[in-house]
Structure formats: C-alpha cells, structure tokens
Amino acid sequence: MTRTVLITGGTGALGGAVTRRFLEDGHRVAATWVKEAELVPLRERLGDLAEGLTLARADVTDPAAVASLVDDVAGQLGPVEVLVHLVGAYAGSEPVHDHSIETWQRMLDLNLRSAFVCCRAVLPSMRERDWGRVVLVSSRTARSGRAGQAAYAVAKAGVGVLAETIAEEGVGTGVTANAVAPSALDTPANRAAMPNADPSRWVPPADAAAAIAFLASEAAGQLRGGWLPVFGSA
C-alpha cells in the first residue's frame, strides 16, 4: 500500500539511501534538508526517482517550523503516515568530568529534542486515523562503547526510550514506534574521519535503509517499542 512518508534529514548518506528505498517502494515521499549543497548530489544519486520527491527546508528542533512542515506535506501528499527521523549529530572525545555544556546541549537538541518535536507533530493525525509508523534512529553507542561520548550516548538512549514510550501509548491502536540502532555506517564522512578503520565491517546505508523500510511496513505492525541492532560485522 502506498503511504505518505516524511523523512527528516533525507539528504545525507543514510538519508539518501532511505529516501531511495521508500521511493523505489512506491511511496509518496517528502524529505527535509538544511544544507543546500546536498541537494544536487541527492538528485544525481536518485536519478529519475527524484521526480517523485518533495523537498522541504526545515529546522526540526523548532516546533513551529515542524508543525508548518507537517501541514505542508499533508496539503501536498496527504497526512503523514510514516515518520522516519534521521536528523542527528555526533560529537565525542569529551569525558564527563571535562564535558562542555555546549556539546551536551547540542547533542540533546539535534538528536533527542528533534525526534520529540517531530513525533509530537505527526502523532495526532496518526492516532486519529488509527494507523502510523514512527521509526527513529538510535545508536549502538546508546548501550555500549560510551566512554568519551556521554552527550551523544545519552541522547541516543533517550531516542530509544522515546520510541518505547510512544509504543506504550499506542497500545490498542494501529500506531507503532520503533528504533534502529546502527553501529558505524559506511559513509564518505566516516571513511574520512577513520582512515585506518576497516569499512568492510561497517553497515552499508542501504542495509540500514532496508531495516527502516521493514519497520515502516504493514508487516511490522506487531513490532512495538523495539530497539533493532544493525551492527554489521563490527
């Protein structure tokens, strides 16, 4: 069945893979962007599929901007039935005893606040229509390997708890929420940041996109509040 899918952060390496997957599956897709420089490469990667994509610039930490975004998508494509929240950011190398308040707040805002704001905006319509899929992105770091990454780990753990809470609140409805938790993704940025690592052990973005697409599907209706590890061979 064709659904209206909102993908936040749909222009990066993972975002492009997820956007491609949902377009290939025949859904009506809207994706948010912030960096204009990512738009041309995204369209080039998508090829003819780009013709079916709706793009919208939005600050997903701003409740008013997100409310306007959701209304605009509903007006163009229909009410949002699937939210895939990919927006996030990483910062590390700061142990708790020497952790900056600025990094702490930035990680919470970009990873957790953004997820909350977007979920809050789409859930009323999903609950009213008695069908919806919320897929959030946590991280392996939420549960292990957290030293020096307190803010990021806490924010991504919070994303998982947010999905669990939405799932509990959705009991008895057709609205589900789950989180995927990738380890390192095989992206150009990660290859540049970790030149001595073995990327063959990382997760290809297309594989993470497949897991996300499944959680958004009709077949995943009995999965609620899951934290799905997507760890590759690392």
The one catalytic residue in 116, 131, 152, 202 is 152
What are the DSSP calls for 40-91, one per residue? HHHHHHHGGGGGGEEEEE--TT-HHHHHHHHHHHHHHH-S--EEEE------
- The candidate with the shortest Cα–Cα distance to 148, out of 198, 189, 191, 90, is 90
Q: Which has the closest alpha carbon to 149: 186, 98, 199? A: 98
Block residue for tokens 């095989």: 186
List residues bridging with 85 in a β-sheet.
8, 136
152 is catalytic: yes
The CA-CA-CA angle for residues 33, 94, 137, to 5°, reads 35
Beta-strand pair 82-85/53-57: unpaired
Question: What is the set of active-site residues?
Answer: 152
